[in-house]
């Protein structure tokens, strides 16, 4: 009977610890994503204010590169060149993350461009980039920050709390069975 309780406690502990470990992510973040395609690509800066200018770069692409996003007009890097610039739409949603797609001879690479919060409220915008004159091309939805802010210290603290609760439950269960047998 005691072996069943110990095995149950061990199984419960292993299950809880497995659930508290954050999943490994295959996504590569940062300004350059050379690990996921045979060619390198980048958006600099990776966070920009609405209306700002970004540099779009590509390395090791033997052909023309087409760059698309819902936050700027389509761009093109001719063969033999490594970068071009694009102006972010003035009506880009502050705090939003937009996907930027690089197409090198049919091979696709993707990265994100984040729009910084705060803007001029429409002052100084060119007429064709004001919200009433341009269509909204969509925002890339994310995980909602569910795993974004976890660091090693928070994970360790959470694990310690779970282990403490399991240890206390085990201690109480052992103590109770000891009282029953006397």
> Contact, 18 vs 87, CB < 8 A?
no
Do 47 and 96 lie in one domain? The reply is: yes
The residue whose two tokens read 């091309």 is 137
Cis peptide leading into residue 45 (ω within 30°): yes
41: nearest Cα among 87, 116, 107, 94 = 107
Nearest-angstrom CA–CA distance, 149 and 22: 11
Q: How high is the pLDDT of residue 30?
A: 42
Confidence of residue 37 (pLDDT cuts 50, 70, 90): confident
Note the pTM of the prediction, 2 decimals: 0.48
Q: Are residues 60 and 92 in the same domain?
A: yes
| Cα–Cα distance, 105 to 102 (Å, whole number) | 10
110 within some domain: yes
**Separation between Cα atoms, residue 93 and residue 118, nearest integer Å:** 10
Instruction: State pLDDT tens for residues 77-95.
Output: 999 999 999 999 999 999 9
Higher pLDDT, residue 38 or 181: 38
Centroid of chain to Cα 71: 18
Tens digits of residue pLDDT in 3-19? 677 677 777 677 756 66
The dihedrals phi and psi of 77, each to the nearest 5 degrees, come to -115, 110
What domain count does the chain have? 2
Q: Is residue 143 in some structural domain?
A: no
Q: Distance of CA 181 to CAs 2, 161, 175, 177, Å?
A: 12, 31, 10, 6
Q: Tens digit of pLDDT for each residue in 103-143?
A: 999 999 999 999 988 544 444 444 444 454 445 555 655 55
68/118 same-domain check? yes
Q: Is residue 69 part of a domain?
A: yes
pLDDT confidence bin for 54, thresholds 50/70/90 = very high
């Amino acid at each position: 009977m005691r072996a069943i309780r110990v095995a149950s406690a061990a199984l419960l502990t292993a299950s809880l610890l497995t659930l508290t470990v954050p999943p490994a992510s295959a996504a590569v973040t940062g300004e350059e994503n050379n690990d996921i395609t045979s060619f390198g690509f980048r958006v600099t800066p990776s966070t920009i204010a609405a209306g700002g200018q970004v540099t779009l770069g590509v390395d090791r692409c033997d052909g023309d590169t087409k760059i698309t996003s819902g936050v700027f007009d389509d761009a093109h890097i001719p063969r033999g060149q490594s970068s071009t610039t694009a102006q972010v739409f003035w009506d880009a949603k502050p705090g939003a993350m937009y996907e930027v797609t690089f197409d090198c001879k049919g091979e696709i690479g993707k990265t994100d461009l984040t729009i910084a919060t705060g803007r001029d409220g429409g002052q100084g915008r060119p007429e064709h980039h004001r919200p009433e004159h341009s269509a909204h091309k969509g925002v890339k939805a994310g995980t909602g920050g569910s795993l974004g802010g976890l660091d090693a210290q928070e994970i360790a603290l959470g694990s310690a709390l779970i282990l403490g609760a399991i240890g206390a439950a085990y201690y109480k269960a052992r103590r109770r069975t000891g009282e029953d047998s006397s």
